[in-house]
Amino acid sequence: MTLTFDIEARDSRSRARAGRITTAHGVIETPVFMPVGTRGSIKSLTPDEVRDHGAQIILGNTYHLYLQPGHELIAHMGGLHRFMGWEGPILTDSGGFQVFSLVYGGIADEIKGRRPTQQVQPGMVRVTDDAVMFKSYIDGSTHVFTPERSIEIQKGIGADIILCFDELPPFHAGYDYTARSLERTHAWERRCLIFHQETRAGGLPFVPPNPDQALFGIVHGGVFPDLRRASAEYLRELPFDGLCIGGSLGGDKQQMYDVVDMTVPHMPDHLPRHLLGIGDVDDLIECVARGIDMFDCVSPTRLGRHGTALVRDRTTPPAERHWRLNVTNAALRDDPEPLDAWCDCYACRRYSRAYIHHLFRAQELLGIRLVSLHNVAFLLKLMHDIRQSIREGRFAQLRAEWLGV
């Protein structure tokens, strides 16, 4: 079967909408947040745990799965669904984000307008109009990604939704470079689409484990309204199954919201819209209000590994809320409350802040698991409540309760 998207409810005071995406591995209710399983694993958590806490779809990383264990092995094992024991839908990114991280250093920081956090190693990447050549961070071996190769790898992984290969220029790139990069990315996306269509019936060096894959294009253009509009209008004429908003999203949250605002009106209304790499509480709510249907981010488990729990924050002014609790804080040493009484995850039902504080102080691995599980469950519950509020005509009320707007 092919992917279908049905919009079932709209908010009268914003662009928020609730719908259903149907894939070969199940239905996804939107708006949706997908936990990230970079290497075929949501760090420290089992597939059953994230499913039981409300996960409908997860993300796998093409770059990392290609380097280890390899897409052909995954295909031989029946695809990523069977390989990792996840029965629901999977989305894979194209690998471009990680490859271009080798070009620009800390591209996650660059995309958000911050200085790079890692030192780029000379000779790690070479970019041409045809391909990207890079060295493996594992063993230094040389590899080549073309648009066709990225799609081939994703077909071997067997995800339900796959993404086009794209270039990610950094935030500091000016208008002229961003425009040239956009032309290159559009050419790559057309090549991805052609290869995807040509190989539906075979022609790959392995048997594709999932013949019903949907392909999403990615809108680029940096922070420039005319480039964003041109990209969205170019891609809407191609037969993609959905569209993502990618590339540089600006130097702060407001600029990111501006990028979404300048892009969404030019995207097709009947296709699902995915905002790549975003997962903060306020960003999820604000970007749902701006018409986004799908989100992904590594932050829930990354925060969990570093002892930061997501919590509701209604004691500080809306502009200062950050939704985070440091579980190693000494004030939690004898705190009998759960991480968040609003959350009904396993960690919040069973354990106190004091116990989780103890686990981190004692460097017990259970602490990482519990906070990671809580963070994932927290965002999944938030998205569930957002969906319900849209369907019941009270999204504006939810937005005001959480953000004070």
| Residues annotated as part of the active site | 93, 296
Q: Compute how many other C-beta atoms are within 10 angstroms of the C-beta atom of residue 7.
A: 14
What ranges make up the beta strands (E) of 45-141? 58-60, 90-92, 125-127, 132-135
What ranges make up the beta strands (E) of 160-269? 161-163, 214-219, 242-245
Q: Is 222 helix (H, G, I), strand (E, B) or coil?
A: coil
Residue 276 Rama label (left phi>0; alpha psi -120 to 50; beta): beta
What ranges make up the beta strands (E) of 164-222? 214-219
Per DSSP bridges, beta strands 26-30 and 58-60 are unpaired
242 CB-side CA count, 13 A: 29
Name the token pair of 209.
Answer: 């484990």
Alpha-carbon gap, residue 394 to 237, rounded angstroms:
34
Q: Which of 205, 263, 269 is nearest to 10 (CA)?
A: 269
Q: Which of 265, 263, 292, 242 is nearest to 5 (CA)?
A: 242
Q: Is residue 63 classed exposed, middle or buried when 0-12, 13-18 and 19+ CB atoms within 10 A define those classes?
A: buried
Alpha-carbon gap, residue 238 to 306, rounded angstroms:
42
332 CB-side CA count, 13 A: 23
